[in-house]
Amino acid sequence: MMNTGKIAVAGLGLIGGSLVKTIKRKHPDTVIYGIGREDGSAGEALRDGTADEIFPELTPEILDCDILFLCAPIPVNIKFIERLSQMRKDAGERSHFPIITDVSSIKKQIHSAVDEYGLSDTFIGGHPMAGTEKTGYRNSQDHLLENVYYIVTPTDDTDDTVLSEFTEYLKGLDVIPVTLSVSDHDFATACVSHVPHIISAGLVNLVRNNDTPDHVLKAIAAGGFKDITRISSSSSAMWTAVSEGNSEKILPVLDEYIESLKQIKREIEASDTGALSNYFENAKEYRDSIETRHGGVIPSSFGLFCDVVDEEGEIATIATRLATHHISIKNIGIVHNREFENGALSIEFYDQKALDEATELLKKFRYTVYERN
């Protein structure tokens, strides 16, 4: 069984912060070292009791840890790998060296750096398929990784026993480990994350470029449009870096998507009812088969629609009932465009538990509730 009495995390942002909070919740006796500045996220983790000690940079003390998670942006992680390589050389015949892993959404650059700096025997790549539109430690959660797929990308030199122990440790954090090659991982994330983000931004820009001076399109862009473009609120700097970093896998997937748009355009022009029906039915069937309660690289949305009567104070009544039962609301608003939706009130919550409790409570008060999928 892998010894995990000491864990170090470099980069305590959304994912790194959620990771240490999860470890502290599941294994409260684990000593957690944060690597970062006192006036930054590492300091926040220290002050709220998640981190037990922080270091401003990688130091020899870190080598006493059992696992070192690199959770910074890829260029910073590569600098960490270079520094760790030198620290290993300086340590000489030291018998213990931590397992090094990362959480980067692109694996090729990380694995190339690991090979270049001679750490392939102690490195296991990782990528928890989770996130939100928000960034930073203050938005991290101790349940963000719960039931998400956690991709593991071993190197050619990864020991099978160590890999098995590492994946068992991850299972203990309530994630679902899946082992993939570096190439397969980068292709998969291009398909299910990177290209969808590009498409989402394209849809937003399409509406933006065609909006009227008095912003009519923005005003009526509710419901379905907001749901499928929600991820466009993510960090533009991060997605610029992702698009460039995984271009090798993104470009052929993007080409395939562009060809599919050209094909559907031809079918619309030809009024090909059968082809159009198959296009939408195949998409519906596959989408309906996707489990929506697991986390994913496309951030989860925990919301419902609720039929309400148009009476003064009705929204306040619902909000009060939810607050009385300690159910926190993330966002609430009237749905003015109901073409694709049931219910005139849209309510969004922070997690699945709150959504389930709210649904049960509102039904108890005889509201008609529709959960968003």
**297 within a domain of the structure (yes/no):** no
Where among 147, 180, 213 does a domain terminate? Answer: 180
CA distances from 43 to 34, 80, 142, 295, 361 (A): 8, 19, 18, 28, 39
Is residue 176 domain-shared with residue 194, that is, in the same domain?
A: no
Is residue 139 domain-shared with residue 253, that is, in the same domain?
A: no
Tell me the CATH number at 344.
Answer: 3.30.70.260
Q: Pairing mode, if any, of strands 99-102 and 302-306?
A: unpaired
Rg (CA), the chain: 23
**320 within a domain of the structure (yes/no):** yes
**136 near 108, Cβ under 8 Å?**
no
**333 within a domain of the structure (yes/no):** yes
**295 within a domain of the structure (yes/no):** no
Is residue 282 domain-shared with residue 210, that is, in the same domain?
A: yes
**224 within a domain of the structure (yes/no):** yes
Is residue 107 domain-shared with residue 176, that is, in the same domain?
A: yes
**117 within a domain of the structure (yes/no):** yes
**293 within a domain of the structure (yes/no):** no
Is residue 209 domain-shared with residue 351, that is, in the same domain?
A: no
Q: List the one residue out of 117, 121, 141 whose CA is nearest residue 131.
A: 141
User: Domains in the chain: how many in total?
Assistant: 3
Where among 262, 288, 314 does a domain terminate? Answer: 288
Q: List the one residue out of 165, 72, 84 whose CA is nearest residue 119.
A: 84
CA–CA distance, 323 with 122 (Å, rounded to integer): 49
pLDDT reported for residue 298: 47
Residue ranges in the chain modelled with pLDDT below 50: 293-294, 297-298, 337-342
Where is 304: in which H helix or E strand?
Answer: strand 302-306
Domain of residue 154: give its range. 6-180
> What pLDDT digit, counting tens, does each position of 245-292 carry?
999 999 999 999 999 999 999 999 999 999 999 999 999 998 888 765
Is residue 25 domain-shared with residue 107, that is, in the same domain?
A: yes
Where among 180, 197, 214 does a domain terminate? Answer: 180
pLDDT reported for residue 367: 87
Is residue 10 domain-shared with residue 56, that is, in the same domain?
A: yes
**12 near 137, Cβ under 8 Å?**
yes
Tell me the CATH number at 250.
Answer: 1.10.3660.10
Is residue 56 domain-shared with residue 173, that is, in the same domain?
A: yes
pLDDT reported for residue 343: 52
Owner of token pair 């473009």:
229
Is residue 282 domain-shared with residue 307, that is, in the same domain?
A: no
Is residue 306 domain-shared with residue 268, that is, in the same domain?
A: no
Is residue 252 domain-shared with residue 326, that is, in the same domain?
A: no
**336 near 361, Cβ under 8 Å?**
no
> What pLDDT digit, counting tens, does each position of 96-114 carry?
889 999 999 999 999 999 9
Is residue 173 domain-shared with residue 196, that is, in the same domain?
A: no
